[in-house]
Structure 1
Amino acid sequence: MSQESGARTLISQAQLRRGKGRFVYWTLLTLVVLGFTLAFVGPLYWMVTGALKTGQEIAQTPPTLWPKDPDFSNYTDAWSNLNLAKLLFNTFYYAAGAVLFQLVLDTAAAYALSKLRPILGNVILGAMLATLMIPAIVLVVPQYVTVIDLPFAHVNMLDSPFAIWLPLVANAFNIFLLKRFFDSIPDELMAAAQVDGAGPLRTLWSIILPMSRPILGVVSIFAVTYVWKDFLWPKLVMPSPETRTVSVGIYAFSGGSSMNEIVAASVIAAIPTVVIFLIFQRNIMSGLTAGSVKG
C-alpha cells in the first residue's frame, strides 16, 4: 500500500484530482481562511486606523474603512498626555518580576513533584489542578483580603508589586505544564548524575533546566502576557497613579481624553505583546508540544 493511499483524509486524493472537487475544496478553504483572518485581524485593523481618525469619524455610522485625513499626531498626543512611558515601565517591571517568581518557584514545585516524588505528591498535584475548576473571579475577594492584611506578617501590600507577583506564583497550570515536561526527561539522566555525586539542586541546575528551555520560554511568555492584559486585579491593588499598569492607566485617563487618543494609546499598549508573539511563536508551539510524545 502506498503512502498516499494509506493516508486518511476528509477528502480523498482522487476527488481532489477531479476538476469540480478541486474547485470546491479550494473555494471552501479560501473562504474559511479569509473568515478567520477577518475575525482576528479586523479588530486590530480598526484599532490602528481608528487612531488616525478624528473623534467624529470614529463615532460615525457606518464607519469608514480608511481615515479621510490621517492624523499621526494622535499617537504622539496619546504618548504625552496619558503618560504612557510611565505606564509601560510599570507594566514591564511587574511582568519581569512575575516571570522571575514563576520560573523559580513553579519550576521548583514541578521538579519536586516530577523527580523527587514527595509523599502525597499526587494528592498535592490533584489539589492544585482542582483549583483550575474555580472561576478566577471567585478568588478576587479572598485574595484582596489577604493583600490588605497579609496573614501572620500583618502587612498591607497595596501599591506594592508583590500584590501582583505573589498571587501569580500559585499557578497550577504552569506547574502542571512544567511537570509534564520534566516527566519526559529520562530518569537515567538523574541516576547518572547521582552516580557522579550531584545532588538534587545540582541536577536541576546542570541537567534539567538546560533541557527545559522551550517550556521555560512558554511559561515566561504566559506570565508576561497575563500581566500585560490583566485589568481587574491591578486596578484593585494598584490604586495610586504612580503604580498603575498600562491597561488601568488608559482606563483612568479615558474620561478626560478624546476617543482617538484612547484608541492610539491602546495601539501602543498592544504593540509589545504582538511583537513578542511574532518573535517567539515558534518557541511557544515547540514548548507546548515538547514532552507530549515519549519514546
Structure 2
Amino acid sequence: MTHALARELVARGHDVALFAGPGSDPDLPVELLDLPAFEPSAAAMADVNAPTRHWMAEHHAYLALMLALAEGRDRRFDVVHNNSLHHLPVAMAPSLSVPVVTTLHTPPLPWLESAIALAPETSSFVAVSRATARAWSHVAEAAAVHNGVDVSTWCPGPGGGPAVWTGRVVPEKAPHEAIDACRLAGVPLVVAGPLPDRAYFEEQIAPRLGAGATYAGHLDHAALARLLGQASVAVTTPAWDEPYGLVAAEAMACGTPVAAYSRGALPEIVAPGTGVLARPGDVADLARAVAEARACDRAVVRRHAELHCSLTRMVDHYERIYAGLVGGDLAA
C-alpha cells in the first residue's frame, strides 16, 4: 500500500520522501531518507531483558527519523504520513511542526494504544476499513479509507478457470478450508502464496493437494494477476477479522468474483453482485458461496473494483486528508 501510494503521489506531481527498510524497491521514484544503522554493544545485549537486535535496529531507525523531523532539519514537508506499526511516530508527533496522519492497518496493538493514550490529539488517524475504525474506536477516532489497487496492473481476464486462493499460507488465513470447500463444491482450486509457516503447509495443505487442488508457489504480481484473471472465482477464508482484505480487491479488479467468509472488512469490500459471503468457519456454506459466486457478471465485478477499490480512489481520499491537515490546497 505504501509503495503504491508513494508512486501515485509522485505521478500527481507531489514531492515525496520515503523512509523504509532494506529491501524496498530501489526504482521507486521518490527520495529515500537515510536509514541509520545501530549495533548495540555486547554488554547491552547481555542484559536479561534485552530485546532482539532486529527490534533495536527498528527502534533506532524510527527514533533517528523522528528526532530529525522534530529538529526541523528538513522543513520541506507539509505532512508526515505514518504507515508503520511502530509507536514512536505517534508518541513523538507532538514534537513535530507539521501534522502527522497515521493509517491503522491492523487490529489494536498495545504499544500503539499506549502512544495514542499519551498523545491523543496530536495525530490524525485513518483506518483501512470501517471495521478497523470500529476496532480502534476505544482509543482513537479514525476516518475509513479503503486500500486501493492499481486497476491498470490488475487487469480483467477471461475467467472460466479453476477457483483461486491467494495470500500467505498461514493458519489465520485458513487455505485448508478453501481446499475443503472447493472440493465439496466440485470446483478445482489453485493455491498461491508464500510459505512463512512451513509446518502448517506440511500438516494441513500438502495432504489435501491432488484431486483438484494444486499449489502454484509464490508468484509475482504479474503472474498472480494472470492467474486471477483466468479464475472463475477467488476464495478468501480468514480465520480472523481481516482489517481490509487486499486479495479480494485484487481479484475483483481482474473481474473475478469472490467467495469469502463474512469477517472483518470483507462485507465492506464484497458487494452484492461481486461475490457471495459465507458464515465464518462454515466450510459447507463456503462451498455454496463458491458455486453461487461463479455466476456473477465479470463486467459488473470489474466495474465495482474500478469505482470502489482503485488506487486512484484511495489517493483522492488521502490528498483531501492532507489538504485538510495543512489548511487548504496541498501544493505539489
Task: Please state which band the TM-score falls in when normalised by the shorter chain.
Answer: under 0.3
* Structure having the larger proportion of residues in strand: 2
* Structure having the larger proportion of residues in helix: 1
TM-score (norm 2): 0.21
Highest relative contact order (Cα 8 Å, sep 6+), 1 or 2? 1
TM-score (norm 1): 0.22
Larger Rg: 1
